[in-house]
Structure 1
Amino acid sequence: MANSYELKATVRERAGKGAARAARRQNLVPAVIYGDKKPAVTINLPFKEASMTLHKGGFLSHIGTIDLDGEKITVIAKDFHLHPVKDFLMHVDFMRVAADAQLTVEIPVKFINEDKSQGLKLGGTLNIVRHTVEMVVPASNIPEAIIVDLEGAGLGSSQHISAVELPAGCTPTITDRDFTISTIATPGGGAAAAEEAEGEE
């Protein structure tokens, strides 16, 4: 399992808001590691390194390593909190990840061959209905993106999940319908097309 980042951490002996505030005053980010049928552990992360990792992108879909006083723990970030005004990192929730685990992750959608879409060449507009797709994926093979190929896509066309070649072992959490990822609206009809596609959801 290839891990995309590693953060050093120390154990936070006390839980609660007071201990978290004390950590922030020391330029640390309070966090918790839970899951894998083991007790939750409260930790502190260095603010600079944790913030840089967050802003690299893909924080909630990349496997990482927490070096907790020499013990290497494989994790995925499940949630984080930013200061409502100053926008700095305030807290992170990590889940332990076993090598054979299946994870539910939001995978970004990436579009290719927009220059080869007949509809876009004719002045159509690409309306993105889903910027991410929630999928069940193996922890050892989390895809960076779902690729939607727009080559040949015409005016009024819709791109559905069934037309996407999904990475091995990855399945959408929505299984009861062939949901829309994007549409190519006719010139002047973008808003209506987007509303219609969203109505399908």
Structure 2
Amino acid sequence: METIKIAGVKRADFGKKESKHIRKEGMIPCTIYGRGETVHFSVDAKAVKPLIYTPQSYLVEFDIEGQKEVGVMREVQYHPVKDNVLHIDFYHVVPGKPISIDVPVRLTGNSEGVKQGGKLILSKRKVRISATMENLPDEIVVDVTTLGLGKSIFVGDLQYDNITLLTPASTAVCAVKMTRAARGAAAAAAE
């Protein structure tokens, strides 16, 4: 999995007033928790843009005044009107210990159903997985070459080494739906 490096500054003061002051300086208050400890810090708002405004998931290496921390983003709080970031929560990543994270899905191949006039629809853009830090993939690749017209691929159909899929097995990842043009061609061929 790709890694982003971000520098942070420790916070000593907490609360609404202090957080507001931090945001006025162009910083975002953050918390990284897990491993039995919680570290409060703030980061530059521009430094987290590649982390937030993307469909990808990343490991984040923090340098908080010389203290090294590795984590994954858990939750982002946005302002209800302005839509700017108010607070970010991260979770510690420990080598050898599995973590759960949402990973994007990428479809590959040319589906048989699409060749027959169907439309390929991606129903689930991200899938929650559990894996150790060393085995975390950048994306889950799903081959749709054998997917026929009117058929679906479910999370339960996917198998990967060293990865546990946490999304329910009955969740559809993608499907090939019949279009109106394909229905008309099928009706004409039947007559």
Q: Which category of TM-score, normalised to the shorter sequence, fits these structures? A: 0.7 to 0.9
Query: 1:128, 1:3 → 2: CA distance?
Result: 24
How many angstroms does 1:83 deviate by? 2.3
- 1:69-88 alignment, distance < 5 Å: 69-88=65-84
Query: 1:170, 1:71 → 2: CA distance?
Result: 30
Residue in 1 that maps onto 2:18 = 19
The alignment status of 1:53 with 2:46, answered yes or no, reads no
How many angstroms does 1:30 deviate by? 0.6
CA contact (8 A) 2:97 2:132 kept: yes
**Structure 1's 64 and 3: CA in aligned 2 closer, same or farther, altered over 3 A?**
farther
Letter in 2 for 1:30: P
How many angstroms does 1:178 deviate by? 5.2
Which structure would you say has the larger Rg?
2
CA contact (8 A) 1:102 1:136 kept: yes
Alignment match of 2:152 (pick from 155, 158, 173) = 158
Query: 1:133, 1:161 → 2: CA distance?
Result: 8
- 1:1-201 alignment, distance < 5 Å: 4-38=3-37, 40-58=38-56, 61-113=57-109, 116-166=110-160, 168-174=161-167, 177=169, 179-188=171-180
Query: 1:83, 1:111 → 2: CA distance?
Result: 34
Identity over aligned pairs, percent: 23
Query: 2:164, 2:50 → 1: CA distance?
Result: 30
Please, what TM-score do these two structures have when normalized by structure 2?
A: 0.85
Please, what TM-score do these two structures have when normalized by structure 1?
A: 0.81
Query: 2:25, 2:113 → 1: CA distance?
Result: 55
CA contact (8 A) 1:147 1:164 kept: no
Q: How many residues align?
A: 181
CA contact (8 A) 2:28 2:85 kept: yes
CA contact (8 A) 1:156 1:185 kept: yes
Unaligned runs of 5+ in 2: 182-191
**Structure 1's 157 and 56: CA in aligned 2 closer, same or farther, altered over 3 A?**
closer
Letter in 2 for 1:33: I
CA contact (8 A) 2:61 2:68 kept: yes
